[in-house]
Each structure stands twice: as C-alpha cells, then as structure tokens.
Chain A
Amino acid sequence: MERAESQSPLQADRLAPVRSLLRAMIVPVASVVVALAIGAVIIALSGANPLVAYSALFEGGLGSGRAIGRTLEKATPLIFGGLAVSLAFKCGLFNIGAQGQLLLGAIFAAFIGFSLQGLPAVLHIPLALLVGAVMGAVWAAIAGTLKAFTGAHEVITTIMLNFVAFNLTDWLADGPWKDRSPGNIVARTPAVAPEARLPDIAGVPLGMILAVLAAIAVWWLIWRTTIGFELRTVGQNASAAKYAGISVRRMTVLAMVASGFLAGLGGAVETLGVVGRFQPGFNVGLGFQAITIALLARTNPIAVIPASLLIGVMQAGASRMQFNSGVASEIIDVIQAIILFFVAADSIIRWVLRLRAEEGERVTLSSGWGS
C-alpha cells in the first residue's frame, strides 16, 4: 500500500496542510460510504430492510445522550488499539496482536484494582493503569525481540501470542485470581476497588480523555522526536536506516514495546473505566478492528480518533439494529472488512473518482518474511 504525506518541514506553503488533509480524507470517506452501500446490499439479500437497519444503527450510536455515551465508551479502547497498530506501522511492523496485549493489560489492571485496598484514588488509578500498560508492553516485546533477533515475523508471533494470552488470562481468571465470592461460578476476577475506578471529569469519562491525550502523545512522538524520526526511517527503508547508523533492532523492539504499551493501556482503561473487573471474552475482535481503524486513519494518530468514533458508533448501535430490524450485529464486522478492503485497495476508489495517485514518500506498511 502506498501512502503519501506532505509532512516535509521544508514546505513553506501555509495552506498545504489543509489541502493535503482534505485530499487525504477522500479515500477513507469514500471507502466508508461504499462499504455501507455494499453492507446494505448484503442486508437486503438476507431479507431485511437496510434503511430500517441503518437508521436503528445510527440511532443506537448517536440518537441520544446515552447513545453517545455508549459510543464514547466503545470508541475508547478502539482509539488505543488503533494507535497501537498505527505506531507499529510507522516502523514497518504489523502488530495484529493488539488483542492479546489488551487482554494482558486488562487482567493486570484488574489485579492491581482488586488486590490493593484502601489506596487513595490518585495513587491507585495511575498504578493500575501503569501496570496494565507495562504488561501489554511486555507481551508485545516478546514479538518485537523475536523479530529483531531471530527474524520471526511479527504477524505470526503476535497472533500466536493472542492465543497464549487467551489461555493465560482464562486460567488466571478461573484459577489464582478467580472471584471466590459466594454464588459466583463463572471465570472472572473480583470487582476492582471503588478507588481504582476511573471517574468522569466534567462529564467526560477519564478513559476518553486519556485516549485523546495518548493520540496527541503518539503524534508528538512520531513527528517531533528523534526516536520518532528513527522509527519512521526504519519503517521506510530499513537498510538506509542501518546505513545512517540507526539500530534497526533497537527500533523494532522499541516500536513493539510502545505499541503494546498503548494496547495494554487500552485494556486497563476499559477494565477500570467500564467493566470494573476482568472476565474472559473481553473485547473480542478488537485486534482486527484496530487494524481497520489504523488503515482508515492512514496511520495518522490524530485521525485515529474520528476513525474509532465511527467504528464506535457502529458497535454502540449494533444491538439496537439487531433488536429493531432483526439484522445480526455481525454485519458491522462485514462492513468493517469491506471498509478495510477499499482503504487498502485504494486504487479502486481512485479510479472511480478519477483521482491521481498521490506522489510522495512511499511507505511499506509491512515487511516480507525475510527481512
């Protein structure tokens, strides 16, 4: 996939950012529209009315204050996941293991949340968030280290680590960290202490605020720091980076650690902000949604926010759609996959809209087995 970004600091044209932003938005927006249209055809083929389904979908996601609250709630972990995948892409790494990293972050945040009692919130919350994020980072670091030192491709190792994480967290929630309160028979941890729950700040959930701050931080890291410059250099051309004296191994591990940190933080935020404990089957499918979001946002950290909100609306409205129109909520997975297809195969949209292919720096999103 090609991607163009006119981020050269040498450009003096003041309006250039605005124009390039608008140009950059054409393909993602068109992809969403086309995907919704194809989704409508699939809904119609399965015997339901697409208009009824879609109006219920968007009503359930945007129709009321509560609906919007639900959308923000759903979008929060998606932002973290989308940021995690985007950041790894910048370094030429394809992290499809955000799911596993999120699980690790979630269960360790839950552990800190329920095992420490009587800690003030100002200490308890940061500690639980940090431990969750660090565990996500550790989980991703396994894949990063293997990639850097043995060449094992991160696509396979992160997926395998997802399955290991499923089993590991399932065991923890059903074994050592199981909720032993009378009456509970399912696998889950005890509820976290009230002091560890994320509060709302001026009506906005703290988790959402953290997600937006994280997006800004990632943007800053990528575009305003030396590390970010080195990450991008490795992502664009690893051999050139090596020639310039950048340690590709160090950057590979670092990018995965940062990516896993974000995913783990997402899991921690979801646990402390929404669920209040860990239970298996937590946020299934987030890893794939995060990929769709990252590509929809063209790996731009700030654009991850609206992309996540869009997917968040669909998730928030899915159950209402199923209730009102009888369309199974899985249709939103299909629509997301079609969005991903059109964003990835952007030549189709460009051809239909007669857009010229953008010239600019080409970025290989991912690398083959050998490198």
Chain B
Amino acid sequence: MQITDTLARPSAARIPWVTIGVWGGLAILVLVAYLRAPQATTAVLTSTIRQSTPIILGALAGIMCERSGVINIGIEGMMLISAFLGFLFNVWTGDLLLATMGALLVGAAVGAFHAVMSITLKVDQIIAGTVINILAVGLTGYFYQQGLTTRGKLAPVSIPVLADIPIIGPVFFSNPPITYASLILIVVIHVILFRTAWGLRTRAVGEHPAAADTVGIAVNRVRYINVIIGGMLAGLAGGFLTLESVGSFERNMTNGRGFVSLAVMIFGKWTPFGAWGGSLLFGFANALQSQIQFLKNQLPPWLAWIGDLPPQFIGMLPYVLTIAVLAGFVGRARPPAAIGKVYEKE
C-alpha cells in the first residue's frame, strides 16, 4: 500500500500553492531590490547561484544514495578528498578539464569505498560516513603542502544573447562550467529518478528491497551503482571548490557544506528540485555573508544595523539556517523506508 503511494509520481494532482507563493513572493522581492540597487542585487544573486553549486551537488549525491537506501553522511569527506586531488591533478597536468575528470573519478572511488563498507561489510552506515569524513581530514591534511601554486581556475562562459538579459542573464547564463553542470544535473537526476526504469528500480530498492528482489532486481548492485554515482556528484562538488571557486586548496575547506547538503536534501524531501530550492536559500545566506562589505553602503538606513553586526554572527547564519530548516521540515518529510538497513536475502 505504501509502495504504490510513494512510487507514484510526486504529488502530480495537488497544486503546490505554498511553493508558488514563496517563489512568486521572492521574484517580486528580487524585482524591487533590482529596481532600487541593480548592481548589488545582481552581485548577490550571481553569488547565490555560485555558492549554492556545491550544496546542490552534495544534495544530489545524497539523493542518489538515499533513494536507494544507503545513508551517506560522508559527503563532506568525499568533497574534501576530491577537492584536494582535483587540485593536485590541476597542479600536475595544468589541464582544468582533466583535473575535473580526476575529481569525478576520485569521488567515484570514495563512493565505492562507502558502498563496500555499508553494503558488503555491513558497517553502520552513519559510522561508515564518519570514517570517510575523518579519513578525508587526516589524509588531505597529511599530504597537503603549502605553497603549491595554482594553475588558474575554470572561467565563466557567457552564453551569447541569453547573457544580455538583465538579471537573468548574468545570474544564469554567465557561469563557469561546473555551475552550469550542476543546473543541468538537477534536471537529469530528476528525470532519471522519476521517469526511467533505473529510477524506478532505485526507488524500489530504497523503499522495499525484499519486494524489489522478488521481481528480479539485484538490490545490492543497484545500491552500489547509486552510491558510486553519488560519490561522483560529491566529487564534482569538491572539484567546484578547488577548480572553479577558489582555485587552490585549503585545509578543511569544505566547511560543513557536505552536512548542509544533507539538510537541504531533507528539506527538499529527497527530490532534486526541492533540494535546489533549499540550496538557493543557503547560497543566498552565504552570498550575503561574502558580499556584506560590498553591501554595507547600499543598505537602506533601517537595515544599516546589519552592516554593523560582528562578522562572526553573519558567519553563523548558514549554520543556524540549516538547523532551523532541519527542525522545521524533517518531521514532515518521509525518508525512503529501507534507509540505513543492510539488505539480506531471507
């Protein structure tokens, strides 16, 4: 009874008034802000998209794993290792494309490691993720040498014509490659999950592995592949950090983004578009934080106090937001039923 219910296309019949209301309200807000301060608004929105890129990629990684029934709290560590090795590949080869591919492969490898631990070795999946997180901090810290010079980073590519549209142009059509890739991947993963046989199998395995097994689906194989794909997505998020955003590696540079991704995934009820909404929210919080110096002079007098807040308070914002989102949404979202459980044939 539950299966047919959850495997059906997500809430096709109901009109999501709340979502429409929230996004409509935001659109109006953005328009008002743009009319008052076009430059600042564009800067904040552009930064929002960029800052949300690793978050949505991490959330997509989480969705792929968890829809197939494997909890992955190691996304943070997967990002960190891929960010580090992606950066090293760039230093060695000087080829950003190769380095990005390298980050993807490293992510896949760490994903496979997570799959081995949580599927084959039957390690508690939350502990398995913790092993990856701790290992990532240790290994990157050990092998990182200061003074490695960067070989540049992925530059924005403007899409002709579209990039000239006010607001939308600079925000959506003048981005570096991994940011574009993340936007495309949201659609791709949505289609895979809800419109393909593979997606149906993935969700079946995550909801009711025993039933999936009876109809001939190789439960653990589906899980392995999904966790490895998840690792690649986390790897791309790591690649974003060193190859597109910063251009070099810093210790612990993921700064909790992997965990924020998981909160965003829950916020989005394990759907790509829902998670994107959550990522944008965090991207916005981060954008405000990074643009605050620039924004200080542009604030209207009644908001001037924001500019005087200690930087540490603005630094807390994304994390407090994560907690609030989690507390507000987790109760209403239902995770895949078989999540965290090792499947053993009867």
Contact = CB atoms under 8 A, between A and B. Distances in A.
Interface of A: 1, 42, 46, 94, 96, 142, 146, 150-153, 155-157, 159-164, 167-168, 170-171, 174-175, 285, 288, 291-292, 295, 328, 330-331, 333-338, 340-341, 344-345, 347-348, 364-370
A369 B339 contact: yes
B323 A337 contact: no
B156 interface: no
Contacts of B330: 150-153, 369
A167 B130 contact: no
A167 B312 contact: yes
Given A162-B256, A338-B135, 12 more contacts: A94-B126, A150-B327, A159-B259, A164-B316, A167-B319, A333-B141, A335-B138, A337-B135, A345-B123, A365-B127, A366-B126, A369-B330
Contact of A150 (B123, B310, B331): B331
A285 B316 CA distance: 19
Interface centre among A171, A295, A348 (most CB of B within 10 A): A171
B134 A336 contact: yes
Contacts of A1: 123-124, 127
Given A146-B327, A167-B315, A337-B135, A368 B335 contact: yes
Interface of B: 66, 71, 73, 117, 121-124, 126-128, 130-131, 133-135, 137-139, 141-143, 255-256, 259-260, 262-263, 266, 310, 312-313, 315-316, 319-320, 322-323, 326-328, 330-331, 334-335, 339-341
B240 to A, nearest CB: 20
A46 B143 CA distance: 8
B134 A340 contact: yes
Nearest to A370: B335
Contacts of A170: 312
A171 B143 contact: no
A160 B124 contact: no
Contacts of A46: 142-143
A307 to B, nearest CB: 15
A106 B123 CA distance: 34
A1 B117 CA distance: 11
Given A160-B259, A164-B316, A366-B127, A42 B135 contact: no
A285 B137 contact: yes
The 3 closest A-B pairs by CB, nearest first: A333-B138, A368-B340, A171-B312
B334 A168 contact: no
A27 to B, nearest CB: 13
Contacts, number: 151
B127 A163 contact: no
Contact of A156 (B263, B316, B328): B263
B336 to A, nearest CB: 9
Contact of A344 (B131, B266, B315): B131
Interface centre among A159, A333, A340, A370 (most CB of B within 10 A): A159
20 contacts: A156-B259, A160-B263, A160-B322, A164-B320, A167-B313, A167-B316, A175-B310, A291-B130, A295-B127, A331-B138, A333-B138, A334-B135, A337-B131, A337-B134, A340-B130, A340-B134, A344-B117, A344-B127, A368-B335, A368-B340
Interface centre among A94, A152, A288, A292 (most CB of B within 10 A): A152
Contacts of A333: 134, 137-138, 141-142
Contact of A334 (B123, B138, B312): B138
Nearest to A340: B131
B122 A370 contact: no
Contacts of B312: 167-168, 170-171, 174
Contacts of B134: 288, 291-292, 333, 336-337, 340
B138 A330 contact: yes
Contact of B124 (A151, A168, A365): A365
A49 to B, nearest CB: 16
Contacts of A171: 310, 312-313
A150 B324 CA distance: 10
